Structure 1
Amino acid sequence: MPRERGVEATGVDPERLWLSSSTQPRRGRKPAYSREVITAAAVALADAEGLEAVTIRKVAARVGAGAMSLYSYAPDKETLLELMIDHVSAELPTTHTPTTAWRAELKAIAHLQRAHMLRHPWLPAALATRRTPGPNTLAFLERALAALRPTGLDGAAKLEVFAQLTAFVAGHVAHEIAQAEASRSPDRTAAEARYLTAVASDGRHPELAEALAAPGRPLTPEATFTRFLNRLIDGLDTA
């Protein structure tokens, strides 16, 4: 009997998952559900309650099915997670106008990824465990690789750049979400400000004191992300 599994990798077969000629069970009576419907229900559950809330049983309840009937579509949570990631990746635009301004295109891609992950806050954690990019994910990867063509980098280096960019965006969004949660506690925010002020004035942290005394910069999430992204992309070495 299939059992619920955690998010940790347990060995999804990418050929069976993505190259199968049919996404429907082949035996028995006509299926009452589709993989698309089940995956969409799982995504809605993760969006509403977080990744930890996603189980085969809860997804089954959302679509009005018995848990056992869903195992033909997603035998474990890892498989379901792969399906969820690729399902939402269909939201990412894949059209690309050839240009030599590859840095600008990479920045545009990163901003698309950030907005995408903010719509689905479970994605940064999910991406850290995924192993097998599906068709929608590959379509977006194709856009990124096309954007990198003017750099002259070899194929392996292009893949590394895209992986680095995605990891940066995922890490930043995870931090951004955590900071937004923390900011909902004004007492904690005020206490942190008082603490840093005290540390900066104790004479033992001159570098920190100088940094905190520097003119402030826009601290909106968008502005902060853009500054960090610019440092990353502008500093890429294509030699």
Structure 2
Amino acid sequence: MAGRAAVPEVIWARPERTGRGPRPAYTRADIAAAAVRIADAEGLDAVSMRHVAAELGCGTMSLYNYVPRKEDLYELMVDAVSGEHELWEPGGDWRADMLRVGRQTRELMHRHPWLPRLMSPVYGFSPNALRYLEHCLACLDPLDMTYGMKMQLVGMLNGVVTMYVASELATAERTRSLPWSEEQENAARIGYLGSQVATGAYPRMAAAFSEDPGPIDPEAVFRFALERVLDAFAPKG
């Protein structure tokens, strides 16, 4: 006889304690903090139920009494770091407030480099994530559009920040693994690119490089990317 299908469950809908029996030795906050410490120090792949249990000083099977699945552990981690968002009183300038949100999210992801890998709507409705989302919608109060469109704006902004930071982190990781300096690497690639453009096979690329925009400012590029998202939602006319 086939077993019954598992019933979908959200960890936040489960009471942290039943009110009966001895007080639990650990809270969800304790477990999340331990997992975050491991991920910050060793990367997300190092986070396992066994490793977190060892960090807490309990048995692996005991940990399952608090966190039934590894996905639940990830959700606790995302919620924990979401609590690091500063939720200020919106200033009435929705663009300025959302640019601030984007900058803060980028800083958060650099503090916790594993976070971009877990950015998913699946983990987007935990207690701290809901407070963050409500804050973003408050920042958008001056914008005359439906809440559905405002949710899209927040989602697109977070998506751009996530992709941008993931690229930054991947570049930094690759640079650390090089047997030579980043400057040497860049010089070699620029030299190769120049030799290819000089063949005449890429006239549009040649025209683009002849414009010489000067040194690239990563902060300016990041702001530009965020502003293009905000431009798409700005009132027309």
- Give the TM-score band, short-chain normalised: 0.7 to 0.9
Q: Percent identity?
A: 39
Match of 1:65 among 58, 81, 84: 58
Query: Is the aligned partner of 1:13 residue 2:9?
Result: yes
Contact 1:103 1:234 in 2 (8 A): no
Amino acid at match of 1:122: W
- SS of structure 1 residue aligned to 2:142: helix
Structure 1 range deviating more: 147-156 or 53-62? 147-156
Change (3 A) 1:11 1:213: farther
Q: Please give the alpha-carbon distance, in whole angstroms, between the structure 1 residues aligned to 2:163 and 2:36.
A: 20
Q: Which moved more, 1:216-225 or 1:87-96?
A: 216-225
Cα distance, 1:165–1:11 mapped onto 2, change above 3 Å: farther
User: Is residue 144 from structure 1 mapped to residue 136 from structure 2 by the alignment?
Assistant: yes
* Equivalent runs, 1:126-205 vs 2, <5 Å: 126-128=118-120, 130-184=122-176, 185=178, 186=181, 187-205=184-202
TM-score between the two structures when normalised by the length of structure 1: 0.85
TM-score by length of 2: 0.86
Aligned-pair RMSD on alpha carbons?
2.2
CA distance in 2, matches of 1:218, 1:140: 35
Tell me how far 1:12 sits from its aligned partner: 6.0
The counterpart of 1:84, out of the listed 77, 80, 84, is 77
Q: 1:204 to 1:128 in 2, by over 3 A?
A: farther
The Cα offsets for residues 153-195 of structure 1, whole Å up to 9 and x where unpaired, read as 1011111110000010000000011112233433543332222
- Note the C-alpha offset of 1:97: 2.6
Q: Which has the larger radius of gyration?
A: 2
What is the match of residue 233 of structure 1?
230
Q: How many residues align?
A: 226
Give me the whole-angstrom Cα distance separating, in 1, the residues matched to 2:187 and 2:20: 62
Q: Deviations over 1:109-160 (max 9, x none)?
A: 1001000111011111101363441111111111111111222110111111
Kept in 1, the 8 Å contact 2:97–2:139? The answer is: yes
Work out whether residues 89 and 137 of structure 1, in 8 Å CA contact, stay in contact via their aligned partners in 2: yes
Relative to structure 2, which stretch is displaced further, 153-162 or 221-230? 221-230
Instruction: Specify whether residues 152 and 88 from structure 1 end up closer, same or farther in structure 2 by C-alpha distance, changes over 3 A only.
Output: same
Q: Tell me how far apart the structure 2 counterparts of residues 79 and 34 of structure 1 sit (CA, whole Å).
A: 14
Which amino acid is 2:12 matched to? W
1:36 paired to 2:33: no
Between 1 and 2, higher relative CO (CA 8 Å, sep ≥ 6) is seen in 1
> Which whole-Å deviations, capped at 9, do the CAs of 1:182-226 have from their partners, x for residues lacking one?
334335433322222122212111221222222334434323312
CA contact (8 A) 1:102 1:147 kept: yes
The CA deviation at 1:24 is: 3.1
Is the aligned partner of 1:119 residue 2:107? no
**Gaps spanning 5+ residues in structure 2: where?**
1-5
Structure 2 match to 1:7 = none
Structure 1: runs of 5 or more not aligned: 1-9
Moved more, 84-93 or 214-223: 214-223
Does residue 211 of structure 2 align to residue 211 of structure 1? no
